[in-house]
């Protein structure tokens, strides 16, 4: 009986140690994710001061993605083959963005295509805001966008090629004050 009690105490202690180790690992991962997030946000803000990006060229999206995630993930220097070799890539490369409709249409197509292996939404949202800033002198504050409503309307827009519902969602989220202190709020949802 003594042996069974001793083993039970050892097992209990071992379980607590594993739990503590799991919690410590989770806390460390959370701290790393926060630090990583700050690095990415700093890089995103820095991209707003770059004025020589040709945003009509879809390869500028690749530059943005590579800049944001250099030294963080592998293979930031290329699109997924399924995107790069697709007719959509050629269509986007040949089209220009000059008004709200063409910018939102490109945004929807990029959301659908998922051109990278990782971190598509952050890169595509930043690209959208860079296009809006460049062409229309405004931004979308993604913190004001209802995520569920946005996802639902993106699905509808993909099936119908109609961007009007997205216009309504984004209208309430426009920011016309272009200063660096507001960029961070506008980049993510």
- State mean pLDDT over 141-165: 78
184 pLDDT band (50/70/90 cuts)?
very low
The yes/no answer on whether domain 2-187 falls in CATH 3.40.50.2300 is no
Tokens encoding 186: 């506008």
Q: Give the pLDDT confidence of 17-71 residue by residue, as tens digits.
A: 555 555 555 665 667 677 787 888 888 888 877 767 889 888 888 888 888 888 8
The mean pLDDT value for 126-135 works out to: 88
Distances, alpha carbon 116 to alpha carbons 23, 103, 162, in Å: 32, 19, 25
Is the pLDDT score of 90 beyond 50?
yes
pLDDT: which is higher, 61 or 16:
61
Lowest mean pLDDT among 62-66, 72-76, 146-150: 72-76
pTM: 0.74
Average pLDDT over residues 75-84: 76
- Residue 34 pLDDT: 78
Count CB-CB contacts under 10 A for residue 45: 15
Q: Where are the domains of the chain?
A: 2-187
| Mean of pLDDT over the chain | 75
Helix 2-47, helix 59-69: angle, nearest 10: 130
């Amino acid at each position: 009986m003594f042996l069974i009690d001793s083993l039970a105490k050892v097992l209990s202690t071992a379980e607590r140690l594993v739990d503590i180790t799991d919690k410590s690992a989770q806390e460390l991962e959370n701290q790393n994710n926060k630090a990583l997030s700050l690095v990415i946000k700093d890089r995103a803000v820095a991209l707003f001061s770059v004025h020589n990006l040709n945003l009509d060229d879809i390869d500028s999206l690749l530059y943005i993605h590579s800049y944001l995630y250099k030294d963080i993930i592998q293979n930031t220097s290329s699109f997924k083959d399924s995107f790069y070799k697709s007719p959509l890539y050629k269509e986007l490369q040949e089209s220009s963005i000059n008004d709200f409709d063409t910018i939102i249409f490109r945004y929807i197509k990029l959301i659908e295509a998922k051109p990278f292996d990782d971190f598509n939404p952050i890169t595509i949202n930043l690209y959208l805001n860079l296009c809006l800033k460049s062409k229309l002198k405004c931004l979308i504050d993604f913190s004001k966008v209802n995520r569920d409503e946005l996802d639902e309307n993106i699905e509808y827009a993909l099936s119908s090629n109609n961007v009007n519902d997205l216009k309504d969602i984004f209208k309430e989220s426009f920011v016309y004050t272009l200063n660096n202190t507001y960029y961070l709020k506008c980049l993510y949802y």
